[in-house]
Amino acid sequence: MIVATGKSILNRIGIGKIKIYKAPEYKINEGLIEDPAHEVQRFNDAVQKAIDQQGVLYEKALQTAGEESAAIFEAHQMMLEDDDLQDAAREIITSQKRGAEYATKTAFDEYAQMFAEMDDPYMKARSADLIDVEMAVLDVLMGNDTDSLQGTEPSILVAEDLAPSETVKLDKSLLLGMITREGSSNSHTAILARSMNLPSLIQCKDIDDSWDGKLAILDGYNGCVYIEPTKDLIDSLTAKRNEDLKKEALLQELKGKPSVTLDGRKVRVYANIGGPSDLGSVHENDAEGVGLFRSEFVYLNSKEAPSEEEQFTAYKRVVETLAPKLVIIRTCDIGADKTIDYMNLDKEENPALGFRAIRICLTRKDFFKTQLRALLRASAYGNMGIMFPMIISRWEVVEAKAILEECKAELLREGHKIGKYELGIMVETPASVLCADELAEEVDFFSLGTNDLTQYTCAIDRQNAKLERFSDTHHPAVLKAIQMTVDAGHRHGAWVGICGELGADPTLTETFLRMGVDELSVNAKSVLPLRKIIRSTDLSKPAIKD
Ligand code: PEP
Ligand code: MG
């Protein structure tokens, strides 16, 4: 038996034969051509055909993986339609007298390189998407048949890397798992694998062609794959897989049921989202609302600061689609790890402690007002919450509220409708915990950002992998800070939720309920598992101490 390790994308088990997936080779003729006009026409036709194909892939992904994942192919269409990119390729054909294949490869590679060199991890990941659309155009130009690579038997697919378009083209009924040598957990392929609920391993450096056709078990719990496993291992992991399948089927029965404890305590279980493309997962997992819409993704997805109209469209779509459910939109939380070129922010020594989030918004008032106006206009279409991030002082909340009032007055004068909304802040700094009593007097709700709260309370940089050993997600100081915040909020009539990753930790659900937490906002896939725990918890009985 061979054991190879990698990074698991999902806690699931896949059992079956390995199929080595080999992408077609792209041998590009670099010679000079005689008829540039003909090559330009070939290029134009191939791009158009690739755009059409992305449309077909969009429809297919919509059915198999949901709207969030399908949106990738819309983004691909936009990349292919980009005039600058197309012009760059046509320019190579006409000025350098090269074929359409060479021009496509050169121009698209250059753009992909540009993305790869960006600091922002989201933009970096877009480089893979560009290579993906490059392949789509090259496949058309070279007449490659990419549909017959998967074989006909159900298998665990092993590849160097898989592009989103390759992933979604795969026949899901033949797919028992996916293993790649490359890939990052932020990549769209990983996102697709997650939304397809597919056991997957990335960064598995030991994959080998000799595995082809051999029986394997992909163990997503332990981040490894066993080639030619022993009978005992097959038996125990088959049992574990069957248990998982049973549990998942049972979770579906919880859809439409309330998140209420055995003794009658109602807790709201909401989803965290990054934009309208995540609406599908909110529905699919029956989230009761959205506790954190990270609006900075609307900014990160844009080449320049999104206009009031663009933002209004995005916020309205989410609020209107989910009405009457509550949708809490956090105002732009950029800075630190989320940098945007068009903001022209200075490089800083300590960006996590630097010019970020509400500090930028209160300094660049016009920038802030554009977002607040869009939010207020969208509030007329449903049930909205507006939330300010990274608050440390009462005056920040007072000033942000004053700017909000200024926007409201302007919009009413201009004849816009404004709905009712709740107002809250993220509690994610020790300062806001310690001043929670006075902050609670200013707001309707608190939402605990435990990712940053842990980072600042424990002085552990959340980006630094070397600190893993010192990092304790259950650190008593963080748990105490949560309790203090809940108590302070409740003393002043503000409800208190958690929207950081800790909210999805099933081992803490009962603890949070006993602390009096009113809402948990988590990744959509965790909604039903948390509802299950809540529904089997009895707060009238004493807590079991370990
Ligand atoms: C947090 O800090 O816990 C949080 C939810 O915000 P983000 O992870 O976007 O900083
Ligand atoms: Mg935060």
The per-residue DSSP string of 96-115 comes to H-B-HHHHHHHHHHHHHHHH
Report the separation in Å between the CA atom of 51 and the middle of ligand 1, taken as the mean of its atom positions: 36
DSSP summary character for residue 197:
T
Number of other residues whose CB lies within 10 A of the CB of residue 400: 22
Q: Are 498 and 512 in contact (CB under 8 A)?
A: yes
User: What CA–CA distance (Å, rounded) separates 515 from 433?
Assistant: 15
Contacts of 109 (CB under 8 A, 6+ apart): 131, 134
- Which atom of ligand 1 lies nearest, measured to the CA of 501? 3
Residue 297 Cα to ligand 2 middle (Å): 13
Distance in angstroms (rounded) separating the CA atoms of residues 543 and 511: 8
Query: Which phi and psi (to 5°) does residue 301 adopt?
Result: -80, 0
Return the active site residues. 188, 499
DSSP for 173-194 reads GGEEEEEESS--TTSHHHHHHH
Which is the closest atom of ligand 1 to the Cα of 449? 3
* Two tokens, residue 315: 């916020």
Which ligand has the minimum distance to the alpha carbon of residue 274?
1
Residue 389 CA to ligand 1 centre (angstroms): 9
User: Two tokens at 188?
Assistant: 């769209």
What is the structure's pLDDT at 543? 85
Enumerate residues with CB within 5 Å of ligand 2 (an ion). 428, 449, 452
Residue at token pair 């007449």: 143
Distance CA 294, CA 297 (A): 6
SS3 107: helix
Determine the distance separating the centroid of ligand 1 and the alpha carbon of 280, expressed in angstroms: 22
| Residue nearest (by alpha carbon) to ligand 1 atom 1 | 449
- Could you say which ligand is closest to the alpha carbon of residue 454? 1
Whose CA is closest to 463, among 356, 351, 357, 359?
351
Residue 509's nearest CA partner among 531, 480, 486 is: 531
Cβ neighbors of 411 (< 8 A, separation 6 or more) are 373, 376, 377, 418
What tokens were used for 84?
């600058």
Q: Give the per-residue pLDDT at 340.
A: 79
Are 317 and 299 contacting, i.e. CB atoms less than 8 angstroms apart?
A: no
Binding-site residues, ligand 1, Cβ < 6 A? 292, 294, 333, 428, 449-452, 499-500
* 336 CA → ligand 2 middle, Å: 10
| Contact status, residue 442 vs residue 397, Cβ threshold 8 Å | yes
Q: Which of 452, 457, 473 to mutate to test the pocket of ligand 1 (most atoms within 8 A of CB)?
A: 452
Check: CB of residue 446 under 8 Å from CB of residue 477. no
Which atom of ligand 1 lies nearest, measured to the CA of 500? Answer: 3
Residue 55: count other Cβ atoms within 10 Å of its Cβ.
Answer: 14
Which pLDDT does position 376 carry in this prediction? Answer: 98
> What pLDDT, on the 0 to 100 scale, is given for residue 126?
82
Phi, psi (deg, nearest 5) at residue 452:
-75, -35
Q: How far is the CA of 350 from the centre of ligand 2 (A)?
A: 15
What is the Cα–Cα distance from 411 to 404, expressed in whole angstroms?
11
H/E stretch holding 488 reads: helix 476-491
* Distant-in-sequence, close-in-space partners of 516: CB < 8 Å, separation ≥ 6: 486, 487, 490, 496
Omega cis (within 30) before 324 = yes
Residue 356, SS3 per DSSP = coil
Atom of ligand 1 minimally distant from the CA of 272: 5
pLDDT of residue 254: 96
Of ligand 1's listed atoms, the one at least distance from the Cα of 448 is 3
Residue 122 phi, psi (nearest 5): -65, -50
Q: What is the DSSP letter of 98?
A: B
Query: Could you say which ligand is closest to the alpha carbon of residue 296?
Result: 1
Q: For residue range 197-213, list pLDDT tens digits in order.
A: 789 998 899 999 999 99
Rounded to 10 deg, the angle between the 36-64 and 121-142 helix axes is 120
Atom of ligand 1 nearest to the CA of 499: 5
Residue nearest to ligand 1 atom 9, measured at CA: 294
Q: How far is the CA of 378 from the centre of ligand 1 (A)?
A: 23
pLDDT at 203: 87
Residue 226 Cα to ligand 2 middle (Å) = 38
Contact 65, 55 (CB under 8 A): no
pLDDT, position 506: 93
Q: Write the residue with the smallest CA distance to atom 6 of ligand 1.
A: 449
What separation in Å is there between the alpha carbon of 545 and the centre of ligand 1? Answer: 29
Distance (Å, whole) CA 170 – CA 154 = 11
Q: Residue 156: enclosing H or E segment and its boundaries?
A: strand 155-159
Which residue of 428, 447, 457, 520 sits with most ligand 1 atoms within 8 Å of its CB, as the best mutation to test the pocket?
A: 428
Q: Say which ligand is closest to the CA of 478.
A: 1
User: Which residues are bridge partners to 175 per DSSP?
Assistant: 155
Rounded Cα distance between 439 and 435, Å, is 6
Query: Are the C-beta atoms of residues 94 and 312 closer than 8 Å to each other?
Result: no
| Vertex 393 angle, CA 389 and 395, to 5° | 100
Q: Which residues of the chain carry a pLDDT beneath 70?
A: 64-65, 68, 121, 145-148, 164-165, 168-169, 184-192, 194-196, 301, 465, 468, 545-546
Q: Residue 365 has what pLDDT? A: 96
CA 333 to ligand 1: nearest atom: 9
Number of residues that this document lists for the chain: 546
d(CA 34, CA 19) in angstroms, rounded, equals: 43
Choose which residue among 272, 290, 294 to substitute to test ligand 1 binding: the one with the highest number of ligand atoms within 8 A of its C-beta.
294
Residue 296: predicted pLDDT: 87
Nearest-CA residue for ligand 1 atom 10 is 452
- Res 178: pLDDT: 93
Residue of minimum CA distance from atom 3 in ligand 1: 449
Note the pTM of the prediction, 2 decimals: 0.68
Tokens of 178: 């996916």
Best residue among 333, 461, 526 to mutate for probing ligand 1, ranked by most atoms within 8 Å of CB: 333
Q: Whose CA is nearest to atom 8 of ligand 1?
A: 451
